[in-house]
Structure 1
């Protein structure tokens, strides 16, 4: 009878460990939401501000955002399976959106406040959608 008891206890511990890992892996959703919110500020700044001071302020704010998010991510103890591929696709989608926004914003729509607003939302979509998908995935588990 103890073999069954030991096996049951082992399964219970495994289920608790999995639940704890899923709960702790929710940090990535918060990471993505902060990253998406940063795009709503940084993209219009990159498209509308001109000059050396604007470039310096943009670079410092971007550096602070990325450094803060990197330190936050490095301190997390749990990641779910497939994290590298998921993060790579999110950042790849963001990079493509950002490159397109900068290319169009500096050529065809230079100085357009409307385009800058749309581009900011466009660049925030990849991380925001991934965060929303992560919340749905965590709720289903």
Structure 2
């Protein structure tokens, strides 16, 4: 049968695996910080730049940012329980704020630099909050 030594060894291995998972799960906080930083460039670009060249530049910058962080996320081996729901809520909040910012920026605050700064900060807020909470969970 199994002895106390076998049980202790299994518990020690489980604890070591949990410590490793916590140590490696900090990648999501970095992902969110990069995405939040991107808002400081992309939101003002979307609100203040006009014309074909602006649209092309915005599209390329967004593609580079999203592709880069998506490739980074896809290469991570550790995903903590509840990640899908947490990520869905954060991205949903960001999408709602981003959509509202673009809508109000195009209809009410046309070419307002002040609004562009406020909108960029608002769009980054759920991402920053998520990064801070994730850093707490991983330590």
Give TM-score scaled by structure 2 length: 0.97
Cα distance in 1 for residues equivalent to 2:74 and 2:131 = 18
Counterpart in the other structure of 1:134: 134
Q: Indicate yes or no: 2:94 matched with 1:94.
A: yes
Cα distance in 2 for residues equivalent to 1:79 and 1:25 = 7
Counterpart in the other structure of 2:3: 3
> In structure 2, the residue corresponding to 1:76 is in which secondary structure?
coil
Displacement of 1:23 in angstroms is: 1.1
Counterpart in the other structure of 1:28: 28
Counterpart in the other structure of 1:64: 64
For residues 50-100 of structure 1, the C-alpha deviation after alignment (integer angstroms, 9 at most, x for no partner) is: 000000000000000000011100100000000000000000000000000
Counterpart in the other structure of 1:108: 108
For residues 80-136 of structure 1, the C-alpha deviation after alignment (integer angstroms, 9 at most, x for no partner) is: 000000000000000000000000000110000000000000000111100001112
Cα distance in 2 for residues equivalent to 1:136 and 1:26 = 9
Counterpart in the other structure of 1:121: 121
Displacement of 1:24 in angstroms is: 1.0
Counterpart in the other structure of 2:48: 48
How well do the aligned residues superpose, as a CA RMSD in angstroms?
0.8
For residues 15-66 of structure 1, the C-alpha deviation after alignment (integer angstroms, 9 at most, x for no partner) is: 0001101111110000000000001110000000000000000000000000
Give ranges in structure 2 of 5+ residues lacking alignment.
none
Cα distance in 1 for residues equivalent to 2:131 and 2:122 = 15
Give TM-score scaled by structure 1 length: 0.96
Cα distance in 2 for residues equivalent to 1:26 and 1:138 = 6
Displacement of 1:138 in angstroms is: 2.1
